Amino acid sequence: MPSDARALYLDLAKRCVANVIYRDDGAVPGRENEPFLEERRADGRDWPKTAHTMIGLRRLENIKFCLESVLAAGIPGDVMETGAWRGGAAIFMRAVLAAYGVRDRVVWVADSFEGLPPPDPAAYPADEGVDLSGFAYLRVSLDEVRENFRAYGLLDGQVRFVQGWFRETLPRCGIERLALLRLDGDLYESTWLALENLYPKVSSGGYVIVDDYGAIEACRRAVEDFRKLHAITAAIAAIDWTGIFWQKP
């Protein structure tokens, strides 16, 4: 158990956004009312009914690790998640900045706030058959996400929302530099667009995290195609059964 107040706050924030406190059941379509299982939630394998994130405790811990590393090393730039859903992972990013008294970095939260787009296999063949656009569960409005930030006392000028489809918003979102880029948009298209538009803005020494690399083949292919095209050889490290990250050299 951590002993200082900052570590205790972040540990509690992490447990709150994943809701291992009140232990809500899972709600995966077809497996509704799946009972809460601590190990399943820690692993980010269920779709929680009320928790503010579905990424689990290990991927939350990875956010903390990456942010603490860039803060300690003075790597410049903001922090961003592309694909925020109820906002829990981004809320946790804001909590880390707050815990360290960081005032000069912004958390960018990019999402349609109306779920995933239908796949566009003509432009992104790897997305053929990956259609999550019908899941109402994945549609969370901007008002709801704002309200979730507010509930933690973490909605302020250091949080900026980028609302709309990535193909329209990411090329012109006005971000100058990122120290941490976290991709959680599931599709090849969503992963590719985030890398294409935002990877050049990641500072040397900054981190890229990909949530769905192990879980969704289309996402893994986007990462591999992008890394190949740009001759990126930085070692990929596994976070858990699906999440990976690397540090930009």
Footprint of ligand SAM on residues 10-49 (CB under 6 A)? Answer: none
Angle, helices 88-99 vs 142-151, to 10°: value is 40
- Near ligand SAM by CB under 6 A: residue from 16, 63, 75, 116: 116
* Residues 210-229, interacting with ligand SAM (CB under 6 A): none
**Should residue 91 be labelled a site residue for ligand SAM when binding is judged by CB under 6 A?**
no
Nearest approach, Cβ of residue 74 and ligand SAM (Å): 27
Which residues make beta-bridge pairs with 110? Answer: 82, 162
| Nearest to ligand SAM of 42, 76 (CB atom) | 42
Stretch that binds ligand SAM, among 3-11, 80-88, 202-210, 224-232 (CB under 6 A): 80-88
> What's the min distance (Å) between Cβ of 63 and ligand SAM?
10
67 binds ligand SAM (CB under 6 A): no
Q: How many residues sit in the footprint of ligand SAM (CB under 6 A)?
A: 23
State how far the Cα of 155 lies from the Cα of 147, in Å rounded to an integer: 8
Euclidean distance between the first and the last CA atom of the chain, given in angstroms as a whole number: 33
- The CA distance from 142 to 134, in Å, is 18
Distance CA 9, CA 99 (A): 8
Distance CA(111)–CA(129), nearest Å, equals: 21
Among 46, 127, 186, 240, binds ligand SAM (CB under 6 A): 186
- Which of 89, 95, 97, 109 touches ligand SAM by CB under 6 A? 89
Of 112, 148, 242, 247, the one binding ligand SAM by CB under 6 A: 112
Nearer to ligand SAM, 60 or 98 (CB): 60
What would the two tokens of residue 33 be? 């009312």
CB 89 within 8 A of CB 55: yes
Residue 184 CB, nearest distance to ligand SAM (Å)? 4
Binding piece for ligand SAM, criterion CB under 6 A, among 5-13, 28-36, 149-157, 179-187: 179-187
3-state secondary structure 152-202: CCCCCCCEEEEECCHHHHHHHCCCCCEEEEEECCCCHHHHHHHHHHHHHHE
Q: What share of the chain is helix, strand, coil (3-state, %, to 5)?
A: 40, 15, 45
Residues that bind ligand SAM (CB under 6 A): 53-55, 81, 83-85, 88-89, 111-112, 115-117, 138, 165-166, 184-187, 189-190
